[in-house]
Structure 1
Amino acid sequence: MRQITLSKKEIKGLNSEISTHYSIDEFFSKDDFVALAEDTYILRDGEIMFFYKEDLLLPSLRLILQNNFLKNIVINMGAVPFIAKGADLMRPGIVGVDAYVEEGSIVAIVDEKNLKPIAVGQSLFSKDEMQEMEVGKVVLNLHYVGDDVWNFTTGPE
């Protein structure tokens, strides 16, 4: 696996990009060991923190499970098995949407029982538009438990 250690200047640029997208100041400290693996995965001490997908900078689900800084979309338990297999979120599966979810927002998809994130997605509609809808696809599922990002390892295969 190809892995490149990022310089302090590159980390500063990455912090700026993270701040722009997620309003988090100085996510990586100057003492962190930050690397880019496979030109896609941003690692801190060997664990994926963020990754690029379709030109989007996305937080890993493992990071969101530690510290959920995304807006949430709560789904009913009947939708969980579908989301956990990578399906996009359809309107009937939603039981709640955080305020200020806008079209294009990166969101955490959480189950209603445990309120734990099971996927990271991109909203196709605003909260108000979703509430007016009864059917249709509302969130693209970009990363979920069990996908390639979730299963990524930096160790020997």
Structure 2
Amino acid sequence: MRLSNREVRELREIYPHMGPVLDEAEVVEVVPLSGDSSLYLIDGEPLFLKTSVKDVGEVVAPTLFFVHKSSKAKLLPQYPRAIVDAGAVKPIVNGADIMRPGIRELVGEFNRGDVVLVSDEKGRVIAVAVALFSKSEIVQMQKGKVLLNIHHLGDKLWQISLELAKKS
């Protein structure tokens, strides 16, 4: 479904981090996914995922397509990052949430409910997650689930993104 100019303005007001991308956009569309999730196509590219996260609420996050393959990657906002050790990569790419012991480093500030990009030690973004705690709380923790994996390389959204990008 194509959004009107008014709807795009409202989207920009609600989610300011989408602003630079929306400012350059000619066509903004919403594609419903399963459940309460949807994908925002900006000029035919699948750049943002909107989903509901239990105990956090509605979240709009960049897709991994945006991070890795988009012609608009220069417009990607600066998101905080969690750098994980090599042992955590495979479980995360298989959909596991991010546990405190697997995190090597946290870059940037964030609070509970914020979007955090998850990178391996070589700097490759492997997942998009939502923080279950603030950075300061996570730093104090020794164990437990700290980031909720909402999108990872190879998942259904990654496959859908590649298919949609081929069509544009």
Coarse TM-score class (shorter-chain normalised): 0.7 to 0.9
Taking the aligned partners of 1:108 and 1:25, their CA distance within structure 2 comes to 19
Q: Which residue of 1 aligns with 2:21?
A: 27
Which stretches in structure 2 are left out of the alignment for 5+ residues?
53-57
Q: Which residue of 2 aligns with 1:136?
A: 144
- List, as ranges, runs of 4+ consecutive aligned residues in structure 1 with deviation greater than 4 Å: none
Counterpart selection for 2:67 from 54, 64, 69: 64
Q: Report % sequence identity.
A: 31
- Report the Cα offset of residue 110 of structure 1: 0.6
* TM-score of the superposed pair, with normalisation by structure 2: 0.80
Q: Which residue of 1 aligns with 2:51?
A: 53
Which stretches in structure 1 are left out of the alignment for 5+ residues?
none
- Report the Cα offset of residue 90 of structure 1: 0.5
Q: Which residue of 2 aligns with 1:10?
A: 7
1:80-126 alpha-carbon deviations (Å, 9 max, x no partner) = 001001100011100001232222221000111x2121101011112
Taking the aligned partners of 1:56 and 1:77, their CA distance within structure 2 comes to 28
- Whichever structure has more helix as a proportion of its residues is 2
* Structure 2 residue 82 is matched with structure 1 residue 84: no
* TM-score of the superposed pair, with normalisation by structure 1: 0.85
* Structure 2 residue 102 is matched with structure 1 residue 93: yes
The number of equivalent residue pairs is: 149
Taking the aligned partners of 1:99 and 1:131, their CA distance within structure 2 comes to 12
